[in-house]
Amino acid sequence: MAKRVLVVDDEMDLRTFISTVLESSGYKAVVAENGEQGMAKVREKKPDMITLDVMMPKESGIKMYRDIKTNPEYQSIPVLIISGLAKKTFLHSQRVLDRFKNQVVPEPDGYIEKPPEPEELIGEIRRILG
């Protein structure tokens, strides 16, 4: 059965783009517009992988990432961050939150800075899903 990838991004064009890349490569795409919707889809659809935007209204990717990685049920789901934010900035924000909350959250499984190149995107997804 095709592996299921959850695409979380507030921009409709990005969701369409990433979903099309995924479906052209034989994956099944599920979409969500923000962190809140994303968590609902994680519970409902049990995806094999998540691509996650960071700066989104309502609930950001930073929070959703931590919610996944600190939940024993979901922490094994690999996450590929696709964001306009530099990787360094994202990792820094996570380390600050680690200290603040006294948690250790692992680095994401992959990181792509926007705009994503289709080849890079599919390469990363294949690498992560094995």
Partner 1 sequence: MNPSCQSNFDRLLLIDDEPGIRRMMSLDLSADGYQVRTAADGQSGLLAFGAERPDIVLTDLKMPGMDGIEVLRRIKAQSPETEVIVITGHGDLELAIQSLQLGASDFITKPVSEAALSVALKRAKEHLRLKSELRAHTQDLEQRVAEVTAKVLASERLAAVGQSVSALVHSVKNILSGLKGGNYLVRQGLKTDKRHIIQQGLEMLERNVNRVSSLCYDLLSFGKPRQPELCPVDLREICADAVEYMWPEAEAREVDLDLTERPQALVCQVDRKAILDAVLNLVSNAIDAAAMVNGGQVRLTVEEGEEHFALAVSDNGPGLDEEALRKVFQGFYSSKGAAGTGLGLMVCQKIAQEHGGRVELDNRPGEGATFRLMVPRCARPPAAQVKAKEIWD
Q: Which of 118, 123, 126, 127 binds partner 1 (CB under 8 A)?
A: 118
Which conformational region is residue 92 in: left (phi greater than 0), alpha (psi within -120 to 50 degrees), or beta?
Answer: alpha
Examine residue 117 and tell whether it contacts partner 1 (CB under 8 A): yes
What φ, ψ does residue 58 adopt, rounded to 5°?
A: 65, -90
Are 41 and 52 spatial neighbours (Cβ–Cβ below 8 Å)? no
Examine residue 70 and tell whether it contacts partner 1 (CB under 8 A): no
- Pairing outcome for strands 49-52 and 4-8: parallel
Contacting range for partner 1; rule: CB under 8 A; set: 42-50, 67-75, 93-101, 109-117: 109-117
Applying the rule CB under 8 A, the residues between 18 and 57 that interact with partner 1 are 18, 20-21, 24, 55, 57
Helix (H, G, I), strand (E, B) or coil at 19: helix
Binding site for partner 1 (CB under 8 A): 10-14, 16-18, 20-21, 24, 55, 57-58, 84-85, 113-118
